[in-house]
C-alpha cells in the first residue's frame, strides 16, 4: 500500500509539502504531472493536475527519491505546492483516487523508516522529540540522541553481551570441552563492564525524562503572599485568579513554561495556614504533596510580614528558593538569619528583580541536574529495559559463579534482548555469526 500525507503544519502557509511513499509513487507522479519522472533528488518544477483531467491544481516542485535511498527506504516523493487549504485538499483528493493509495497514519513514514532499517528506534523517538521540542534544551537533547550517541553506547554494551553469550552457547554445545581460562576471565571482565556501565547510566536523576516532560516547580507559601501573582508574572498571562481575599486558590493550578530555555511545569498551590475549612485543608494537603514531588520549590513570603511558619521552614531545603515578595513595601532591612538562606527579594507589582529570580531558578536546575552532557535515557521505556537487563545480568553472574551454564545462558539472552529492545534490534542470528567467527566448530 502506498501512503500519502501533508508533512508540513496545517493552516495557510507559503509552502505545503505532501509526502508520498510506496510502490505506487511513480504512478502518482506520472498521473499528477502527465509527464516523466524527474531525476532523483533534483527539484523539478511541474504543473500538477487533477487525476484523469487537464484541470490544473497548482504549479510546484517535485522531488523524487527512488528506494532504498530514501527516508522510508521505499520509493518516495515530495510534492511542494502553495499552502492553501484548497490546494492541499484537491491534491489529497486526487491521490486518493489512485488504486492502493491511502492517507498515512500518524508517524507512519517514520515507522516505515524503522521497519526498513533506515533508522533505529532511538532515532525514531528523537525525531518525535525534535518535532515537539519547545525549548532550546529540549532541541539540543533530541539532536544528541539523533546523532546516534545513545544508540552507539547501547549497541556497544549489547555487542559485549553477545560475545559472552557466544562463549556460553559454545560451552553448552560442547559440554566435554572446558573453556580456556582467558575466555573465562574475558566473560567475567565483560559482564562486570556492562553491569557497571548500566548502573552508571541509570544513576542520572532522570534528567533526560525531566528535559522531555519539563522540570516540576511548585510555588508554596502563606495566603496573600503573591503566589498566584508570581505564576501570572512568569506566565505573562492571567493563569491564576488573584484576589485580596485569603484562600482564593484551593486547587493546584499548573502551567507549562519556557524559563530562559528550560522547560518547566509551574504549579500554584493553596496558601499554607491553619484552617477549619475542609475544602481548604484538602487544598493545603495537595500543596504539600506537590512540594514532595517538585524538582524545585519557590517559597513565597510577604516582605512586610516576614514570618516563616514551621511547615515552610521544613520545606526550605537545598531544592528551595525563598522568594521575598513586595520588596517595594519593605521599610527596613531583613533579618540576618533569613539573609543566610537561598533567597531573592522581588516585587511582582513593580516588576523588580524578576530576572534575578529566573536566573536563580535556571542556576538551581542546572547545578542539580544538568551536570554533564552524557544523557542516554530520555524515556521510561529505556529505563525499564535497562533495569531488566541489569537484573538478568546480576542473575547471570551469580549462576556463572557455580558453572550453571544452561540457566546462566537464559539470563544472558534476556539481558541481551532488553538492551536490543532499546534500539529496536533483536536478532538471534547475530549470536550464531559470533559463534562461527570465533570458534572453529568443525575442527
Q: Is 78 annotated as a binding residue?
A: yes
Q: Is 368 annotated as a binding residue?
A: no
Q: What does residue 376 show for φ and ψ, rounded to 5 degrees?
A: -110, -25
Query: 321 forms bridges with which residues in the sheet?
Result: 298
Q: Is 46 annotated as a binding residue?
A: no
SS3 246: coil
Q: Is 132 annotated as a binding residue?
A: no
Residue 184: partners with Cβ closer than 8 Å, 6 or more residues away: none
Q: Measure CA 434 to chain center.
A: 34
Quickly tell me which residue has 526550605 as its cell.
316
CA distance 389 to 394: 9
Number of C-beta neighbours around residue 35 at 10 A: 13
C-beta separation of 19 from 78 below 8 A: yes
Residue 433's alpha-carbon distances to 2, 87, 178, 412, 427, in angstroms, are: 35, 53, 21, 17, 11
Q: Is 19 annotated as a binding residue?
A: yes
DSSP letters for 47-73: EEE-TTS--EEEEEEEEEE-TTSSSSS
Q: Is 247 annotated as a binding residue?
A: yes
Q: Is 443 annotated as a binding residue?
A: yes
Q: Is 408 annotated as a binding residue?
A: no
Q: Is 53 annotated as a binding residue?
A: no
Q: Is 117 annotated as a binding residue?
A: no
C-beta separation of 83 from 7 below 8 A: no
Quickly tell me which residue has 523517538 as its cell.
125
Edge to edge, what strands does the sheet with 13-21 contain? 44-49, 56-65, 76-83, 13-21, 2-6, 101-103
Q: Is 342 annotated as a binding residue?
A: no
CA distance 46 to 56: 11
Q: Is 246 annotated as a binding residue?
A: yes
CA distance 315 to 238: 27
Q: Is 224 annotated as a binding residue?
A: yes
Q: Is 228 annotated as a binding residue?
A: yes
CA distance 225 to 335: 18
In the annotated binding site for (6S)-5-formyl-5,6,7,8-tetrahydrofolate, the residues are 19, 78, 118, 443
In the annotated binding site for Mg(2+), the residues are 228, 249
In the annotated binding site for K(+), the residues are 224, 243, 245, 248
In the annotated binding site, the residues are 19, 78, 118, 224-229, 243-249, 268-271, 443
In the annotated binding site for GTP, the residues are 224-229, 243-249, 268-271
Amino acid at each position: 500500500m502506498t501512503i500519502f500525507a501533508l508533512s508540513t503544519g496545517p493552516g495557510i502557509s507559503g509552502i505545503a509539502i505532501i509526502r508520498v511513499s510506496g510502490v505506487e509513487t511513480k504512478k502518482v507522479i506520472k498521473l499528477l504531472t502527465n509527464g516523466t519522472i524527474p531525476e532523483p533528488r533534483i527539484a523539478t518544477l511541474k504543473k500538477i493536475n487533477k487525476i484523469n483531467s487537464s484541470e490544473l491544481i497548482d504549479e510546484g516542485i517535485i522531488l523524487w527519491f527512488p528506494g532504498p535511498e530514501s527516508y522510508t527506504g521505499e520509493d518516495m516523493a515530495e510534492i511542494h505546492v502553495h499552502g492553501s487549504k484548497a490546494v492541499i485538499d484537491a491534491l489529497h483528493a486526487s491521490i486518493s483516487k489512485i488504486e492502493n493509495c491511502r492517507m498515512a497514519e500518524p508517524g507512519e513514514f517514520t515507522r516505515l523508516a524503522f521497519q526498513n532499517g533506515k533508522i533505529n528506534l532511538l532515532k525514531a523517538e528523537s525525531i518525535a522529540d525534535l518535532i515537539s521540542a519547545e525549548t532550546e534544551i529540549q532541541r539540543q537533547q533530541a539532536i544528541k540522541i539523533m546523532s546516534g550517541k545513545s544508540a552507539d553506547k547501547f549497541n556497544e554494551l549489547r555487542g559485549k553481551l553477545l560475545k559472552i553469550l557466544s562463549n556460553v552457547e559454545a560451552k553448552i554445545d560442547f559440554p566435554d570441552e572446558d573453556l580456556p581460562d582467558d575466555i573465562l576471565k574475558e566473560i567475567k571482565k565483560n559482564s562486570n563492564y556492562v553491569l557497571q556501565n548500566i548502573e552508571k547510566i541509570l544513576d542520572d536523576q532522570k534528567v533526560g525524562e525531566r528535559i522531555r516532560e519539563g522540570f516540576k516547580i511548585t510555588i508554596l507559601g502563606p495566603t496573600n503572599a503573591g503566589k498566584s501573582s508570581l505564576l501570572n508574572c512568569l506566565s505573562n498571562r492571567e493563569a491564576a485568579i488573584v484576589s485580596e481575599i485569603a484562600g482564593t486558590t484551593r486547587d493546584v493550578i499548573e502551567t507549562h513554561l519556557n524559563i530562559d530555555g528550560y522547560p518547566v511545569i509551574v504549579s500554584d498551590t493553596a496558601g499554607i495556614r491553619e484552617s477549619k475549612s475542609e475544602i481548604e485543608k484538602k487544598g493545603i494537603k495537595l500543596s504539600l504533596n506537590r512540594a514532595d514531588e517538585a524538582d524545585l520549590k519557590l517559597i513565597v513570603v510577604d516582605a512586610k510580614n516576614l514570618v516563616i511558619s514551621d511547615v515552610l521552614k521544613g520545606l526550605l531545603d537545598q531544592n528551595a528558593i525563598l522568594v521575598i515578595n513586595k520588596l517595594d513595601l519593605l521599610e527596613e532591612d531583613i533579618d540576618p538569619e533569613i539573609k543566610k538562606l537561598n533567597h531573592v527579594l522581588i516585587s511582582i507589582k513593580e516588576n523588580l528583580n524578576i530576572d534575578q529570580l529566573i536566573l536563580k531558578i535556571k542556576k538551581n536546575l542546572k547545578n542539580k541536574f544538568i551536570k554533564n552532557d552524557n544523557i542516554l535515557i530520555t524515556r521510561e521505556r529505556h529505563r525499564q529495559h535497562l533495569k531488566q537487563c541489569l537484573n538478568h545480568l546480576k542473575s547471570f553472574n551469580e549462576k556463572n559463579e557455580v558453572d550453571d551454564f544452561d540457566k546462566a545462558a537464559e539470563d544472558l539472552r534476556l539481558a541481551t534482548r532488553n538492551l536490543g529492545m532499546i534500539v529496536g534490534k533483536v536478532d538471534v542470528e547475530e549470536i550464531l555469526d559470533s559463534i562461527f567467527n570465533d570458534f572453529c566448530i568443525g575442527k
